[in-house]
Each structure stands twice: as C-alpha cells, then as structure tokens.
Structure 1
C-alpha cells in the first residue's frame, strides 16, 4: 500500500509518516494542496489522506480533483472540522472516509488498510445498471432518468450504484455505511438519511418513486416498496 499524505502541520505530518512507515506503509508527503495535486498527477497511490485546511488548494477541492480524474483512489479527509455539515461537504467532495482530529493513530491505520483492501477486492460491475427508466453507466458514472441526464455528486453516485446493485433488497444503514462510505463511522450521525434525501430529490421527480424507506430496517430501490 502506497499512501499520499497532504498535511500542512509539519509536526503532525512527520508523526503520521513515521508511524505508517513503522507499519511498513510507504508514505509520500505534501504540505500544501498544489504540491499534493502535482504528486497525484505524477505517481500512483493506493490511498490519499488529506487535511481540509491546507494552503494553495484546500482539501475539499483537491478531493474533487482526485475523484474527477482517478475515481477509484480512496480518499480520507483528516480534519478538526467535525460537524455534520463539514462531513456532508467532505462526502459531497467525494471523500471515502472522514476522520476528525484528535484521532487515535491505530484507527487511522485500520481505516487505511480497510479502504485499500475493499477497493482492491471490489467486484467488476456490468457497464449498465438499470431499473425501469433509470439507467446508470458504471464506467462514465453518468445517470439518466426518463431519458434525462441527472447530475450527481460522487457520494450520491456511489449510493445510487450500491442501491441498484442490490435492487429489490432492503439494505440497512450499517450496510450502506460499510459499502458506500467503505468503513465504519459514527452511527449516531444521520448522514445516510441526508444522502437518501439528496438522491430522492434528483431521481424521484417523476413517477414511479424508486427509493423506498423500510421503517426500522433501511432502504431499498425498486418499482415497488
């Protein structure tokens, strides 16, 4: 596993680098977003860890850049900004995970390894996933409903893809957390419900409604609840 760490706190960055290297994980470092973007352009990484408040190019924008060009690279946002709004903004930017400071180093290692493992073992999907008049292209990440193109954020797309892969089956919030966000995060947050609502506003503007709530269990996508 090869990691890129973009963190402007030099002392913290060096602490993380030494810790990961002691785990046998190679780490490249950048102290601002511009250098981080250059390194991503020039090298191949298994996981990228980004601080949000970094000079040159902030972590949200750098995350968007990575996901637009290399959507398969997992990104962890590492930041002191821990509110739900900040987390939603991070996931809107395409982040796969969000770890707030201060954090336990062992948790960071666990999340890095889990992200790298899950992404490397992700099964191949067919080029098109369809449900009635809803179509999703797994290669171009484009989505259409009733022949109209729908623009989704990276996280909305990942959620819709997971629901379509499991269409007709109820998936729990925990299952969504583990498979769309890749690792466990605070289950007290309602970020899954927030993103379900985002998705409904975009794909369920026509009949029939496709995203259904199964109260006390989770969500499903299908022609019938």
Structure 2
C-alpha cells in the first residue's frame, strides 16, 4: 500500500536507480504517471518527457480496449488484433474514434508542453513510468511504439499491477521494475491510501517545477 503517487515514485526511484540504466530518459504517462515519474527522473539525473496515449474502446463497450493511439515523434495506432478477429471488426471501424483521440492528444500536448521539443529516444534507455497498470493495454501500445524509435533499451517502471499483467509485460521490456504484483488485484487505486485524480493544472505545475530543476543541473 502506498501513501500517494509521490511516495510510490520515491520508492520506485530507488529500485530503478539501483538497476543503473545507461543514458536514461524517463517517459511519464499523463496524468497519473507524472507525479510518480518525477522522483524517478530526479534520482537518475535523467530528462523527463511525456508519452501520450489514449485508449480506443470497443463499440458499445468503451472500457474494453480495442487498441490505443500513441503520439510521439511519430504517431502510432496499435490494435488488439486478436480481439478484432474475434469480433469481426477492422481498423476502418475505428477511424472516427482514432481521429478523435488524436485531437485529444494534441490538445493535451499543447497544454502540457507548449513548444518544448520531445526528448530523443534513439540510443537511450527509455523508461516508461505510470502509477500502475490494470490490463496493460495502453502501456503495451506505448512500448510497441517506442521500439520503433531506436532506443538502446525499453524499460517499464510501475508501483503496482496484477500478477498476470506484470508477467505479460516482462516479454515486452528489456527490464521491468515494479514494487507490488498481487494475485487478488482489484484496481490501481485500491493500492493507494490517497488516489485523487491528477488534474491538468497539477500536471502543468509539477512539470514546470521538474523542468526548472532539470535546467539547473
């Protein structure tokens, strides 16, 4: 059980730093991943960036992930091909939703980053950080998209996730760092004493402070 995201981030940072990643860059998944990722980046003396991802929901069941849209130096749309085969749906059935998600991502990118340029990933250890994983669908999409940007290695660092999802993530990463992986997982928030939604203005405040500190290093 974690007090809050910041405390989880500090504990996670110790474990990531002990693994000694080479030439790291930390990529937070907004919004909840930002307060977790900041202590990780600070512990490593690494630059902090964001990985924007939005879930693509199944028609009639938006909570079931058919895939995800990932935006970075190159936009990627990753689908759950097994699920599409089972349902008889095609990529074309999601065109409107994909465009909507890209619009949402662009608005969030502008709000959070302004004209700040994304960090280069090629030849670096890209460390993806979130406040936890449930099914892992969106994180899986981010990992797949990052591979295409030529990183030295791709790591995933999360405080908590279900045992099965954590096991699946091992095959998609060069290193997986986690603190808790319970069998009786219910929800990410159940493992935090305080798990309020992180609002946009809080994300922007945290990022400005982190980047000001980064620029002074």
Q: Provide TM-score, normalisation by structure 1.
A: 0.33
State the structure with bigger RCO (CA 8 A, min sep 6), 1 or 2: 2
Q: Provide TM-score, normalisation by structure 2.
A: 0.34
